[in-house]
Amino acid sequence: MKILFVGKKSSSAGGPSTVMTMLKNYLEKSFNDDVNIINSDTLSLKKIFLSNKGSSKFEKEILDADIINFHEFWDIDVVFLTRLASALGTPFFFTFHGVLNKWSLRQNAVTKKIFLKYFGLHMFKMSAGFQFLTLQEYSEAKNIYNFSNKSFILQNGIKIKELKDVKKKEKNDVLKILYLGRFHSKKGLEVIIDSINFFKEKKKNIFFRLVGPDSKYGETLKKRIKEEKIEKYISIEEPVYELEKKIELFVNSDFFILPSYDEADSMALKESLAYGLPVIITKECKFFDVEKNKIGFFIDHDPINIYEKISNINCDENELIEMSKRCVNFATKIYNINNVGNFYRENLKEIISGVQYSPNWNINKN
């Protein structure tokens, strides 16, 4: 099968880039598929079309593909590519990654309403399918367009590597809490800083590591940390992209924290669980009930709540070991790319053939 992905390829682009790379590696290795990626960061299709030079640069790639999976949406170049694919008869579908979530739609709301009216709805009509990562994501988007008869729900998978020769964390009295991801206002990281004064006042032994690529939001966080003189409790560190280095971060931390205002299907959250790191998250992460599954704890965006919840975590060493085992088992059972990737490929075959058999197509009951 020849598959074409379109999306931001840079590692700093976050989840969609990781998803495309992981699926590409899995499909090529497991099925000998031919998978290519068009990097939407470097596109300038509108210039090509408006200059009357034609679109021959992309015609061959689109004609050669059996199917196209768009991992980008709010982009005029994507509009041109979908129209070209439709004209050439190559089926395509969208994986939205939360861009139609209510929180996301409130950001630059006017621009997005205009885009949806003049471009988005037409792209939806041309599309052969839609992938939503969770039922919650679908529920938040379904009022925009009748996605139900062409949609399926399938979460992102992750590669789970057996732990070998990884230096384990040393037992000490400091509770180490890790954040790994982009520095963006959506992630709610400022509330961690807001909570630190409570830990500081009570002289709690705690340290937060925030790891991710530079951004204006990240610079704002750094400035606050310096101004409030709380470097003893929190650090902002360079991004880590290699899996081996991520694993070192996971196994040398006690908890993973994600206080987001909105998520679609966090890859970092899943990776942390896969390598035995329990999670502290908001319900806006649209994840499973981590407390019911005994793999973590819920917090809200109140710094007092974060302080109290973390302070009341009463896990001795044995309980942390058991919780870590539950995290690994949970992730291995649900998120292993070998299972998710196979389901994904079966859905591609159904989109190409125009016949849908999978049990989660046609989400009319929701």
Output the DSSP codes for 79-147: HHHHHHHHHHT--EEEE-TTTTSHHHHHTTHHHHHHHIIIIIHHHHHH-SEEEESSHHHHHHHTTTS--
**pLDDT above 50 (res 273):** yes
Structural domain contains residue 14: yes
Task: Calculate what percentage of the chain has a pLDDT beyond 90.
Answer: 72
For residues 221 and 287, state if they share a domain.
yes
Structural domain contains residue 314: yes
For residues 274 and 223, state if they share a domain.
yes
- Helix (H) / strand (E) element for 279: namely strand 279-282
For residues 32 and 90, state if they share a domain.
yes
Which CATH number covers residue 345? 3.40.50.2000
For residues 203 and 308, state if they share a domain.
yes
Structural domain contains residue 9: yes
Structural domain contains residue 366: no
For residues 273 and 201, state if they share a domain.
yes
For residues 14 and 138, state if they share a domain.
yes
For residues 303 and 208, state if they share a domain.
yes
For residues 27 and 108, state if they share a domain.
yes
Structural domain contains residue 365: no
**pLDDT above 80 (res 319):** yes
Structural domain contains residue 165: no
pLDDT computed for residue 78 by the predictor: 92
For residues 139 and 184, state if they share a domain.
no
Work out the pLDDT band at 317, boundaries 50, 70, 90. Answer: confident
Q: What mean pLDDT value characterizes the chain?
A: 89
Q: Which residues span the domain enclosing 314?
A: 175-335
Cα separation, 20 vs 168, in Å, equals: 30
Structural domain contains residue 166: no
Task: Calculate what percentage of the chain has a pLDDT beyond 70.
Answer: 89
For the chain, the first-to-last Cα distance in angstroms comes to 32
**Who contacts 301 (Cβ-Cβ below 8 Å, separation ≥6)?**
188, 191, 259, 261, 282
Structural domain contains residue 360: no
Cα separation, 11 vs 308, in Å, equals: 35
Task: Specify which residues 129 forms β-bridges with.
Answer: 93
Select from 250, 103, 85 the least CA-distant residue to 166. 250
For residues 279 and 303, state if they share a domain.
yes
Domain count, the chain: 2
Tally of residues, the chain: 366
